Structure 1
């Protein structure tokens, strides 16, 4: 009997240990299940929250951002959290676990405008890489960089040409010639008064008996044309110019923007040329310009990115002015490289100088003729571009448009002399080339400006701001499980 009793006590001890182990295991499994359920609830809450992305940004700009204003006018983190919590609580109520949400909040979030817009920039560049692929990126690089240097040099040459004193020197020579002519007439009149010969004999005495041929000097005509509005000269009458304006003071580039709360995964500053080319290609694909105006807000959005003015007219005027300098630089170089045309210029300059009795001024007159001819040719180029045609980057004898004989008749010849070059560059191509010299900061800020203007033009979105748009959130919640233990879990979600 004693032997039987000893065995029972031993088994009892073993069973108590086993029971303790089983209970501990059950509690551990229960805690693990509770933690998994809590993590799942937070994941579902974040997924559901970020599933409410701004549909207009996605449809029009292929961008994923959450409207942090939740339909209001300012960032509302409380409302965003309540929205997320409404998806968390139903998940916590599932199964037999007694889970109670005690508190929660956001421990970090990224806004589109954070790091001077680098968050926005990174998403755009990522989108373009996925859209174009590696081959498309290489093709884009080759297309733009080939023409960048020559266009930049041409604009510099055009500025130097316009800033020179060519026409001022011409005016000074003509004034001197005019004064000398007046003085000669006075001397002639005095000489006539001092003679006893008849008026007929006096007249014949001052006549050389030879009728000099009349030479048309185009320079005064071109000087008057240069004083005209450039837009009036180059914009097609049928298309007109948009009169849309915007309040720049309310746009992102002119106001203080909100900043997010630092969290892991903040983007590094990307200043690579490839990324900048991808970004400006994105702008070209989605922003309106004079040839293809936007439907809402400013019509000429690409021109705004280049010029930064508050109206379509001012932006177009500044861009066309830059285009004129580029074309003048190119055309003057092409003209001076053409020996036939320069021979014509030299001959006409000598004839004008001789007609004014100032042969030494032929060099100055020749320089003025080159300037005027280059300007007139550039006006035809711009008019063709704005009509939707193409213009060769570099001119030669075969694609030069305006002859020296027709230079005085530029206004009458603007639509009969201009030519479309199928293998040339379009207006949009020139916009892209000009964007290459624009700073990343200006392109980024003004691009975001135009997105804000576009979305604000829609009903109910008048208060839209990109610095209210959220790209990523880090959230943390405290949940009590089975009235025993409180779990704290943290999760992140990002569109990129």
Structure 2
């Protein structure tokens, strides 16, 4: 009996020690399992993010290299149920794939909740998300030296004020014509002055007198006779010629033989109208000069212009639309051509004023014209008006060259000058054959005009074109989505050493899921 009792007491002692050791072992195993569960749910969250990244809107990427999630539900309430369901399904599918042959898996964790905390739509903050994506794509696809060259071109072109100068020049021409008309009323019967030895002056005097005689013979007065006579190749008063050709319209002057697109945008509201849907993402990054330049290059790469039409688009002249903002191709092209003419007028007049030979030639014509109206005091202002008309003729030649695929220098020299004061009408026959190898193409001049256009308007108009061409709605495109993901897992080893009736609750884990198409994943 005694020996049997001693043997039994020793066995109970060892059993208690063994139970304690097993409890400690299971505690370590459970702690290790909890740590592994945290790692596993982090991996599951990353895999769920990848599922969202892979579900981008395909049309935007194929045509415009933009990555956005499209919430296809009616109305955007900010909950993004499709994103939440996609991530839940991705977590469950990834968890099921880890169960090889339906064997027991130690790291079972179920996604219990996915909730959107913040998101950014493409139209938020004047299209900041769209703008940043476009700039980032161009940054990865343009050489640094090309970027520096374009930046230097737009920042050092010295085109500021040229358009305003061109407008003043045209006003100067019309004012000079009005002054000459008033002076001519008192000198209609005045005879031609005797030749003074200046052959150029004598020639122009004779032409001016011939114009007046032709008007009297034909019995014509007023604007109709003036227009007809000004268009004659053998009788060209520079001021009358300019006034006459401007009546034809800018497109008839620079594109007489080309078919102009008649496409127009529909009446449907685009992103340039106010949208009710707005995201909650806090935008911190501000656009830099480099970003603005990159966005301009992006527009050049993805939108067509008058020299490279695309028939499958809502508008053929998309770059012109970004600058002009009209609903019709013709109106946008007119706006751009008019701005180019004004810009070139200003630049061309600056050159003419520095060329003494051409200035003297203009003065000879001015003296002849003012002598006919018996008011030589007008010679100086008429000379400036003639130079302005000459600059206008050269501008027509420049724009014709650009639209035919040629190049035109911003600042010209004598060898690059195409028109002759004696034959301004020849400007209407200029083609790309007259161009120089140096200078900017039509595409380059569009970049200059784009640089002077409001950045906010360019963003809105470009997104409007994207909507028209793809059928998507940009205010339903999310570029950034931040979600909170909750997981639940049941204890395993603790259940084997549970003491008493107290049940051990489940484990809960929380992870942040952030989908950001505009930036690369870390």
What is the rounded CA distance, in whole Å, between the counterparts of 1:218 and 1:322 in structure 2? 22
Residues 148-188 of structure 1: CA deviation (Å, up to 9, x unaligned)? xx2224333223323x444224313322321x136x69xxx
Of the structure 1 ranges 93-102 and 386-395, higher mean CA displacement relative to structure 2 is found in 93-102
Equivalent residue for 1:246?
265
- Structure 2 alignment gaps of length 5 or more: 197-201, 209-236, 492-504
Of the structure 1 ranges 323-332 and 369-378, higher mean CA displacement relative to structure 2 is found in 369-378
Superposed, 1:8-407 pairs within 5 Å as 8-69=11-72, 77-93=80-96, 94-95=98-99, 96=104, 99-147=109-157, 150-162=158-170, 164-178=171-185, 180-181=186-187, 214-216=206-208, 217-237=237-257, 239-247=258-266, 250-256=269-275, 258-262=277-281, 266-270=283-287, 272-294=288-310, 295-407=312-424
Equivalent residue for 2:442?
427
Asked if 1 retains the 8 angstrom alpha-carbon contact of 2:400 and 2:432, the reply is: no
Relative to structure 1, the CA distance from residue 468 to residue 301 in structure 2 (aligned partners, 3 Å threshold; closer, same or farther) is same
Relative to structure 1, the CA distance from residue 344 to residue 110 in structure 2 (aligned partners, 3 Å threshold; closer, same or farther) is same
Residues 260-279 of structure 1: CA deviation (Å, up to 9, x unaligned)? 2337xx44122x21111111
Asked if 2 retains the 8 angstrom alpha-carbon contact of 1:159 and 1:325, the reply is: yes
Relative to structure 1, the CA distance from residue 317 to residue 257 in structure 2 (aligned partners, 3 Å threshold; closer, same or farther) is farther
Asked if 1 retains the 8 angstrom alpha-carbon contact of 2:363 and 2:383, the reply is: yes
What is the rounded CA distance, in whole Å, between the counterparts of 2:260 and 2:21 in structure 1? 88
TM-score (norm 2): 0.79
Asked if 1 retains the 8 angstrom alpha-carbon contact of 2:122 and 2:477, the reply is: yes
Equivalent residue for 1:460?
none
What is the rounded CA distance, in whole Å, between the counterparts of 1:38 and 1:230 in structure 2? 66
Residues 99-158 of structure 1: CA deviation (Å, up to 9, x unaligned)? 4443332222222223322222222222222222544433332343332xx222433322
Relative to structure 1, the CA distance from residue 169 to residue 429 in structure 2 (aligned partners, 3 Å threshold; closer, same or farther) is same
Relative to structure 1, the CA distance from residue 365 to residue 208 in structure 2 (aligned partners, 3 Å threshold; closer, same or farther) is closer
Relative to structure 1, the CA distance from residue 46 to residue 15 in structure 2 (aligned partners, 3 Å threshold; closer, same or farther) is same
State the aligned residue count.
Answer: 457
What is the rounded CA distance, in whole Å, between the counterparts of 2:276 and 2:137 in structure 1? 24
Relative to structure 1, the CA distance from residue 262 to residue 170 in structure 2 (aligned partners, 3 Å threshold; closer, same or farther) is closer
Relative to structure 1, the CA distance from residue 376 to residue 251 in structure 2 (aligned partners, 3 Å threshold; closer, same or farther) is same
Relative to structure 1, the CA distance from residue 492 to residue 418 in structure 2 (aligned partners, 3 Å threshold; closer, same or farther) is closer
Relative to structure 1, the CA distance from residue 33 to residue 384 in structure 2 (aligned partners, 3 Å threshold; closer, same or farther) is same
What is the rounded CA distance, in whole Å, between the counterparts of 2:144 and 2:38 in structure 1? 43
Asked if 1 retains the 8 angstrom alpha-carbon contact of 2:467 and 2:473, the reply is: yes
- Structure 1 alignment gaps of length 5 or more: 186-205, 457-463
Instruction: State the secondary structure of the residue aligned to 1:250.
Output: coil
Q: What's the offset of the Cα at 1:80?
A: 3.1
Equivalent residue for 2:221?
none
TM-score (norm 1): 0.83
Superposed, 1:406-425 pairs within 5 Å as 406-407=423-424, 409-410=425-426, 413-415=428-430, 419-425=434-440
Q: What's the offset of the Cα at 1:418?
A: 7.4
Residues 1:485 and 2:506 aligned together: yes
Q: What's the offset of the Cα at 1:467?
A: 1.8
Q: What's the offset of the Cα at 1:51?
A: 0.5
